[in-house]
Amino acid sequence: MCQKGKKMLTQIQEMREKMIDSAEKNGFTSEDTIRCSQELDQLIFEYQCILRQDQERKEEVKFSFKQMIMGWPKQVIEA
């Protein structure tokens, strides 16, 4: 996982804890708790986008490598 993804996981955990604290102190429907929940949702969405981009890059590399191998002459592959 990339450094950005690891950093985002930390941010997600911190925001989750902040939201739980707010809910315990101010109630589940307080403005602060709802704001924390919305920020947490945004962080999770951004994290999922990063994961998807990483997976797409890996698939592109696999495809390129496969195309390269498929294009090699048979003698090179069997060597």
Match 């986008």 to its residue by tokens: 49
pLDDT 10s digit of each residue in the chain, 79 long?
Answer: 678 888 999 999 999 999 999 999 999 999 999 999 999 999 999 999 998 988 877 777 776 767 666 766 655 555 5
Supply the pLDDT for residue 55.
82
Task: Name the CA dihedral angle for 14, 18, 20, 22, rounded to a multiple of 10 degrees.
Answer: 180
> Is CATH 4.10.280 correct for 3-73?
yes
Match 């048979």 to its residue by tokens: 74
